[in-house]
A and B are shown apart, each in its own frame.
Chain A
Amino acid sequence: ETGVTQTPRHLVMGMTNKKSLKCEQHLGHNAMYWYKQSAKKPLELMFVYSLEERVENNSVPSRFSPECPNSSHLFLHLHTLQPEDSALYLCASSQDAALATLGSSYEQYFGPGTRLTVT
């Protein structure tokens, strides 16, 4: 596997279920991100992890719980979601998230996303 992978690609869950999304990057990067992409809304940054430490929580409801056990893996644990949480959830990674890291070009590499439907 190369790049950024996400599993599952599609997920249908009820509002009382608990599920997890998984992201894995094979690029040797130190930063990982979760984004939400809804119809008719811009891409929304949810969480940022730098060297396995969460450095950004963009006012995301607590029913979304991220976990970053190491620099290659990122999870998004879901529980008691609402229908409006249905969206494409994208994971991304970059070399670093720290400000002005010498030599960093800042671009992020994205996975294919998980299409989540909450019923």
Chain B
Amino acid sequence: AQSVTQLGSHVSVSEGALVLLRCNYSSSVPPYLFWYVQYPNQGLQLLLKYTSAATLVKGINDFEAEFKKSETSFHLTKPSAHMSDAAEYFCAVIRFSGGYNKLIFGAGTRLAVHP
């Protein structure tokens, strides 16, 4: 069954530094992959999605992710962190079962950005 693993529950970067949040997936079929962001006291907002088109996916707020089948990875990056990027980030994969699709989330990575 499809699943995702996020490496690192907490990541801390300096403002202006590269952001790299890691996600590895497990899937026996071509996966549909997502990154969501959750700001404090809010719901989840879609950052970007991979649906088997281009392997480099660009999302909102200058985030992007690259699908690498050979590494079963879908890491999220941003060239220059802003203070406003501090939030929790979730990687997710679509699981198909019982005739329906479901989003399966990783445990999340909390990003801290310090001056």
Contacts and interface: CB of A to CB of B under 8 A. Distances in A.
Given A98-B101, A113-B41, 19 more contacts: A43-B90, A45-B103, A48-B100, A48-B102, A50-B100, A55-B99, A90-B44, A97-B101, A98-B100, A100-B101, A106-B32, A106-B49, A106-B94, A107-B34, A110-B43, A111-B43, A112-B42, A112-B43, A113-B43
The 7 closest A-B pairs by CB, nearest first: A110-B43, A110-B44, A43-B105, A112-B43, A97-B100, A42-B107, A106-B94
A55 B100 contact: yes
B115 interface: no
Interface string A1-44: 00010100000000000000000000000000000000000110
A113 B42 contact: yes
B96 A105 contact: no
A56 B51 contact: no
Interface in B62-115: 90, 94, 96, 98-103, 105-108
Contact of A99 (B36, B49, B96): B96
Nearest to A41: B107
A64 interface: no
Contacts of A105: 32, 49, 51
B17 interface: no
A14 to B, nearest CB: 23
Nearest to B107: A42
28 contacts: A4-B43, A42-B105, A42-B106, A43-B108, A45-B102, A45-B103, A50-B100, A55-B98, A55-B99, A56-B102, A92-B44, A92-B103, A98-B100, A99-B96, A99-B99, A99-B100, A100-B96, A105-B51, A106-B51, A107-B34, A108-B46, A108-B103, A110-B44, A111-B43, A112-B41, A113-B41, A113-B42, A115-B41
A112 B49 CA distance: 20
B32 A42 contact: no
A106 B101 contact: yes
B27 interface: no
A109 interface: yes
B45 interface: yes
A91 to B, nearest CB: 8
